[in-house]
Structure 1
Amino acid sequence: MKTVVSISLGSDALDYDFTTDFLGQKFRVVRIGTNKDLKKAESLIKEWQTKADVLGLGRVREHYNVGTKRFVQKNTKHLEDLVKKIPVTTGSQLRNILHEWAIRHTQISQGNFFNNSRVMFFNGVSNYRAASVMSEFTDNLFFADPVMQLGVPKLLTSLSALELYATGTHPLNKWTPPHVLTPSVAPIKEWNKYILRKAAQKADVIAAGYEEVEHFTLEEMGGKTLLSSTITDERLEKLREKGVNMVVDICPKIFDITVGINVIEAMILAALDKKQGELNQDDFLEIMETLQVEPQILFPSGFKRINRFAFVIHPLSQQYFKNAKPLDVIAKYSPPVVMDTVEKVMAYAPPFVYSHVKGIKSPTGVEAEGWLITVGGTPKEIMAHSPEFTYRRLLAAAKLAKRMGAQIMGLGAFTKVVGDAGITVAKRAPLPITTGNSYSASGALWAAADATRRLGLVEINKTGKVHGKAMVVGATGAIGSVCARLLAKAVDEIYMVAPETAKLLAMKETILQETPEAKVHLSTHADKDLGEMDMIVTATSGAGKKILDFMKVKPGCVITDVARPLDIPASDVAKRPDVLVIESGEIELPGDVQMKNISLPNNVAYACLAETIVLALEGRFENFTLGRNIEWEKVKEIYQMGLKHGMKLAAISGVSGVYTDDDIKRIREFALKKRAEMKIDKPKVIPLKKKKASDTTKKTATK
Structure 2
Amino acid sequence: MKKVVSVSLGSAARDHKVYTEICGQKVSIERVGTNGNVEQMIEIIKDLDGKVDAFGLGGMDLFLMANGKKYILKDAEKVIKHARKTPIVDGSGLKGTLEKQTLRYLNKNGFSFEDKKVLLVCALDRFGMAEELLDMGAKTIYGDLMFSLGIPVKITSLKTLSKIANVALPVVRHLPFKMLYPTGDKQELSSERYSEVFKWAEVIAGDFHFIKKHLPSNLKDKTIITNTVTSEDIELLRQRKLDTLVTTTPELNGRSFGTNVMEGVLVALDNRKNQNYSSLLKEVGFKPRVVRLSQHYKGYRGLSHG
1:419 maps to what in 2?
A: none
SS at match of 2:256: coil
**Equivalent residues in 2 for 1:232-311, closer than 5 Å:** 232-253=230-251, 258-274=256-272, 276-277=273-274, 279=275, 281=276, 284-302=277-295, 304=297
Residues 452-501 of structure 1: CA deviation (Å, up to 9, x unaligned): xxxxxxxxxxxxxxxxxxxxxxxxxxxxxxxxxxxxxxxxxxxxxxxxxx
Structure 2: distance between partners of 1:257 and 1:148: 24
SS at match of 2:141: strand
Matched, 1:100 2:100: yes
Q: Give percent identity, aligned residues only.
A: 24
**Cα pair 2:96 2:127 within 8 Å, conserved:** no
Shift of 1:139: 4.7
Map residues 319-468 of structure 1 onto 2, 5 A cutoff: 365=298
Work out whether residues 98 and 250 of structure 1, in 8 Å CA contact, stay in contact via their aligned partners in 2: yes
TM-score (norm 2): 0.86
CA contact (8 A) 1:148 1:179 kept: no
TM-score (normalised: structure 1): 0.39
SS of residue matched to 2:163: helix
Is 2:168 the partner of 1:175?
no
TM-superposed deviation, 1:51: 2.3
Alpha-carbon shift at residue 257 of structure 1 (Å): 5.0
Describe the SS at the equivalent of 1:226: strand
Partner of 1:143: 142
Give the match for residue 121 of structure 2: 122
Q: Provide the rounded CA distance (Å) in 2 between the counterparts of 1:234 and 1:151.
A: 26
Tell me how far apart the structure 1 counterparts of residues 180 and 260 of structure 2 sit (CA, whole Å).
26
The Cα of 1:177 is off from its aligned counterpart by 4.6
Q: C-alpha separation between the residues in 2 aligned to 1:242 and 1:10? A: 24
Contact 1:248-1:297 at 8 Å conserved across structures: yes
User: Which segment is superposed worse, 26-35 or 287-296?
Assistant: 287-296
Task: Give the match's secondary structure for 2:179.
Answer: coil
Between the aligned partners of 1:303 and 1:9, the Cα distance in structure 2 is 38
1:165 aligned residue: 164
When residues 111 and 31 of structure 1 are mapped into structure 2, their CA distance, relative to the original with a 3 A threshold, is closer
Q: Which letter does structure 2 place at the counterpart of 1:14?
A: R
CA separation of 1:44 and 1:229: change in aligned 2, threshold 3 A: same
Amino acid in structure 2 at the alignment position of 1:174:
R
Shift of 1:193: 5.7
After superposition, where does 1:498-517 map in structure 2 within 5 Å?
A: none
Amino acid at match of 2:19: T
1: CA distance, partners of 2:132 / 2:58: 24
Q: Distance in 1 between matches of 2:212 and 2:180?
A: 20
In structure 2, the residue corresponding to 1:135 is in which secondary structure?
helix
Amino acid paired to 2:245: V
Aligned partners of 1:237 and 1:300 also within 8 Å = no
Cα drift, residue 71 of structure 1: 1.8
Matched, 1:205 2:198: no
Alignment correspondent of 1:90: 90
Which residue in the other structure is 2:13 paired with? 13
The equivalent residue for 1:134 is 133
- What secondary structure, in the 3-state scheme, does the structure 1 residue paired with 2:287 have? coil
Tell me how far 1:199 sits from its aligned partner: 1.0
- 1:106, 1:297 within 8 Å by CA — same for their partners in 2? no
- Distance of aligned partners of 1:180 and 1:285 in 2 relative to their CA distance in 1, 3 Å threshold: closer
> Contact (CA 8 Å) 2:249, 2:286: kept in 1 or not?
no
Deviations 1:499-538 (A, max 9, x none): xxxxxxxxxxxxxxxxxxxxxxxxxxxxxxxxxxxxxxxx
**Deviation at 1:110?**
2.4
Find the partner of 1:214 among 212, 215, 218.
212
SS of the residue aligned with 2:146? helix
Q: Deviations over 1:381-438 (max 9, x none)?
A: xxxxxxxxxxxxxxxxxxxxxxxxxxxxxxxxxxxxxxxxxxxxxxxxxxxxxxxxxx
Q: What CA RMSD, in Å, does the superposition of the two structures yield over aligned residues?
A: 2.5
Q: Which residue of 2 aligns with 1:154?
A: 153
In structure 2, C-alpha distance between the alignment counterparts of 1:251 and 1:177, rounded to whole Å: 28
2:18–2:252 CA contact under 8 A, matched in 1: no
Structure showing greater relative contact order (alpha-carbon pairs closer than 8 Å, 6 or more residues apart) = 2
What do the CA deviations read for 1:348-383 (whole angstroms, capped 9, x no partner)? xxxxxxxxxxxxxxxxx37xxxxxxxxxxxxxxxxx
> For residue 185 of structure 2, what is the aligned residue in structure 1?
none
Distance 2:280 2:180 in 1: 40
- Amino acid aligned to 1:15: D
Spell out, residue by residue over 1:661-693, the C-alpha distance to the aligned partner (whole angstroms, 9 max, x if none). Answer: xxxxxxxxxxxxxxxxxxxxxxxxxxxxxxxxx
2:52 matched residue in structure 1: 52
Hey, what does 2:222 align to over in structure 1?
A: 224
1:71 maps to 2:64: no
Structure 1 spans left out of the alignment, 5+ residues? 183-191, 305-364, 367-617, 619-703
Deviation, 1:74, is 1.7
Q: Hey, what's the Cα distance between the residues in 1 that align with 2:62 and 2:155?
A: 21
What secondary structure is seen at the aligned counterpart in 2 of 1:218? coil
Q: Distance in 1 between matches of 2:164 and 2:232?
A: 36
The 5 A counterparts of 1:183-202 are 194=193, 196-202=194-200
Q: Residue type of the partner of 1:44?
A: I
* Bigger-Rg structure (1/2): 1
CA distance in 1, matches of 2:250, 2:180: 33
Q: What amino acid maps onto 1:120 in structure 2?
A: L
How much has 1:229 moved relative to structure 2?
0.6
Write the distance in 1 (CA, Å) between the matches of 2:130 and 2:255. 29
- Give the structure 2 partner of residue 4 of structure 1: 4
Query: Residue type matched to 2:231 in 1?
Result: D
For 1:259, give the aligned amino acid: F
Query: Contact between 1:222 and 1:242, CA under 8 Å: does it hold in 2?
Result: yes
Query: How many residues align structurally?
Result: 291
